[in-house]
Amino acid sequence: MADNKDKKVLNVPALRFPEFIKSWECSILEKLSKKIGDGIHSTPSYDDNGTFYFINGNNLNGGKIVITSSTKRVSEKEAYKNNAENLEANSILMSINGTIGNVALYHNEPIMLGKSACYINSKDNIDKNYLFYYLQYPKTQLYFEAELTGTTIKNLSLQSIRKTKIYIPTIEEQHKISRFLQKIDERISTQNKIIEKYESLIQAMCDTLVEQETQQVTLSFSDFGQSYLGLSGKSAEDFGEGYPFITYMNVYQNQIIDLTDVGLVKINETEQQSVVRYGDILLTLSSETPEEVGMGAVYLGETYPLYLNSFCFGIHITDESKIYPPFLAYYVSSQSFRKAVYPLAQGSTRFNLQKSDFMKKKFSFPVIEKQRKIYSTLKTYSDKLIVEKQIMRLLCNQKCYLLRQLFI
């Protein structure tokens, strides 16, 4: 590739394939698209036997439409009555409410969109994959962030999306850039499959080791711990600087808290906020689906003070003669634990875990000696998983660097 950083050539990227020399043209997304629209703003008629899925912004992840067992269904008639007929081969989907700027390519999946997702139908003379990557370009994402409206739940308007500035090279250069970035995405996808296999292996081993253990004790979490709530009394202006706090996704996605992935929050000296300590088990309190309530991770670090987000609660371990805190990192992801917690989720549109009911509920645990052995066995594989996740981060950083260099 040619490096154009030090050349005084206007409207060309810093990094470019050497066979291309023409300047890029500045345009806006509206002029490069046949149609830009969003999903339904009301609640559709759900149908458990429907053949179409109701997709919102949280279903767009990793460049794909993610459909799970909890994704709501609608009938084909309901889907086409709303926005399914607007989706086509050139459609790009993007999250525009709550989670902002996640994009996915549409591949003729049977879906209709909710209000937190929009569709962008690129013109036939534009490489839709080029637009797909340009929307991920950090400069474009910063523009989206600057255009957000709303206080608690942020929203990106269709007007702002239509006015998004896009620099366009020739169609041949568009194809070459998009194919190159697709190769990076393919490597990321392969790495993600490696991670998923390790996670599945650890999960299967955990379930087997816990369930086959004959020496069991029946305990509630209140028998060996004291619960506390996460941050309270905070507004959006308090976040972004100050002391570290553990985010919801850090608890939800990990078995052991990732200390490289924390947020920052302002804490005044007069505030009475609970602090996370070594060995604490942290659990999600609230989610859009009952399956995601009570997901947990253990904190095994020494950072102080360290706080917890408001959508989770923590448990200080007060009696380590009954429980080995690191073992809980695996136990709370076991099938037996998940099945026991699922009925405790209450709600209709949003589900909440009643902390007091959870603390009183009885669970079967291996005896303390067995807990230590199970943890030691599983940690060997978890350490390998950590290495694979580090490789994934490096690949994602490489992609981010290339996005910055390949676009204007």
| Domains 24-168 and 216-365 equal at CATH topology level | yes
CATH topology (fold) of 171-215+367-408: Helix Hairpins (1.10.287)
For every one of its 408 residues, what pLDDT tens digit does the chain have, with 9 covering 90 and above?
A: 666 665 555 789 999 999 999 999 999 999 999 999 999 999 999 999 999 999 999 999 999 999 998 899 999 999 999 989 999 999 999 999 988 999 999 999 999 999 999 999 999 999 999 999 999 999 999 999 999 998 888 999 999 999 999 999 999 999 999 999 999 999 999 999 999 999 999 999 999 999 998 899 999 999 999 999 999 999 989 999 999 999 999 999 899 999 888 999 999 989 999 999 999 999 999 887 788 889 999 999 999 999 999 999 999 999 999 999 999 999 999 999 999 998 898 887 788 998 999 999 999 999 999 999 999 999 999 999 999 999 999 999 999 999 999 999
Instruction: Provide the residue ranges of all domains of the chain, joining segments of one domain with +.
Output: 24-168, 171-215+367-408, 216-365
Q: Return the CATH fold of 216-365.
A: Adenine-n6-DNA-methyltransferase TaqI; Chain A, domain 2 (3.90.220)
CATH no. for 24-168? 3.90.220.20
CA distance 228 to 258: 20
**What pLDDT was estimated at residue 7?**
56
pLDDT tens profile 258-315: 988 899 999 998 999 999 999 999 999 988 778 888 999 999 999 999 999 999 999 9
